[in-house]
Chains A and B, each alone.
Chain A
Amino acid sequence: TQLLEQSPQFLSIQEGENLTVYCNSSSVFSSLQWYRQEPGEGPVLLVTVVTGGEVKKLKRLTFQFGDARKDSSLHITAAQPGDTGLYLCAGAGSNTGKLIFGQGTTLQVKP
């Protein structure tokens, strides 16, 4: 059974601080996706990482895929209140519509 362990589950920080969210598995994934979800809405895609060792940047967000394609991290620099939300990592197998989701990280950024 493929599992994704996401940590931390909850994070409450002050505006301007940096943070990192981790997503770890013992399984290899063909790609890993990061989503952000607002209450009562569907997850919105932030990024997809495919190649081991890949690093992608989206403004203040930096995403990294582990060399062995088993883990990933999301780093936010100088967090802002607008970053508040539920962050989800999801691993995909090859050519399948089944995503394995981590438990999610609820981030609260206080002004």
Chain B
Amino acid sequence: KAGVTQTPRYLIKTRGQQVTLSCSPISGHRSVSWYQQTPGQGLQFLFEYFSETQRNKGNFPGRFSGRQFSNSRSEMNVSTLELGDSALYLCASKQGADTQYFGPGTRLTVL
């Protein structure tokens, strides 16, 4: 089985722009979660999608949003980018109550 894939792997944007990141879960996994990883804050939960519905949400501003499609693929969007949004964005998928499996991440740099 193919693992979780994320595109793009690297992205450079400037302040004020918006960005969309994509995640394809492991086949058969219906839950997709997104995390932000920074050196100062570590790994922080952004949100989880299950069957095209947001099931959980972390403590991030409304500039961070996401969605899930009927094939379980998910996207996250960050609008009005700030310097502090520079981070490794990770997505993870799981099936039922099973363990989460992570993708390689998208490294976002905001200049």
Query: Which positions in A face B, CB cutoff 8 Å?
Result: 30-31, 33, 35, 40-45, 48, 88, 90, 92, 94-104
Known: A97-B33, A97-B56. 14 other contacts (CB 8 A): A30-B97, A33-B99, A42-B6, A42-B105, A43-B43, A45-B100, A92-B100, A96-B48, A97-B48, A97-B55, A97-B92, A98-B33, A99-B45, A101-B42
- Identify the closest chain B residue to A93 (Cβ): B56
**B interface secondary structure, majority:** strand
Query: Which positions in B face A, CB cutoff 8 Å?
Result: 4, 6, 31-33, 35, 42-45, 48, 50, 55-56, 58, 88, 90, 92, 94, 96-97, 99-105, 107
Given A40-B88, A42-B90, A104-B42: A99 and B100 within 8 A (CB)?
Answer: yes
Assess whether A40 is in contact with B107, with CB atoms less than 8 Å apart: yes
Report the minimal beta-carbon distance from A73 to chain B, rounded to whole angstroms: 19
Task: Tell me the complex Cα distance, A87–B97, Å.
Answer: 23
Q: Chain B residues near A35 (CB, 8 Å)?
A: 102
- Identify the closest chain A residue to B97 (Cβ): A95
Given A96-B56, A97-B55: A44 and B102 within 8 A (CB)?
Answer: yes
Task: Tell me the complex Cα distance, A76–B44, Å.
Answer: 26
Given A97-B50, A98-B48, A101-B43: A45 and B101 within 8 A (CB)?
Answer: yes
- Identify the closest chain A residue to B39 (Cβ): A104
Q: Chain B residues near A99 (CB, 8 Å)?
A: 33, 35, 43, 45, 92, 100
A-B residue pairs, 7 tightest by C-beta: A97-B48, A42-B102, A101-B43, A97-B33, A97-B31, A98-B56, A48-B99
Most buried by B among A48, A99, A101: A99
Given A40-B105, A42-B90, A43-B102: A94 and B42 within 8 A (CB)?
Answer: no
B97's partner among A40, A43, A44, A94 (CB-CB below 8 A) is A94
- Identify the closest chain B residue to A48 (Cβ): B99
Task: Tell me the complex Cα distance, A4–B41, Å.
Answer: 13
Can you list 22 contacts pairing A with B, beta carbon distance less than 8 Å?
A33-B99, A33-B100, A40-B88, A42-B4, A42-B104, A43-B43, A44-B102, A45-B101, A94-B97, A97-B31, A97-B32, A97-B55, A97-B92, A97-B94, A97-B100, A98-B33, A98-B48, A99-B33, A101-B35, A102-B42, A104-B42, A104-B43
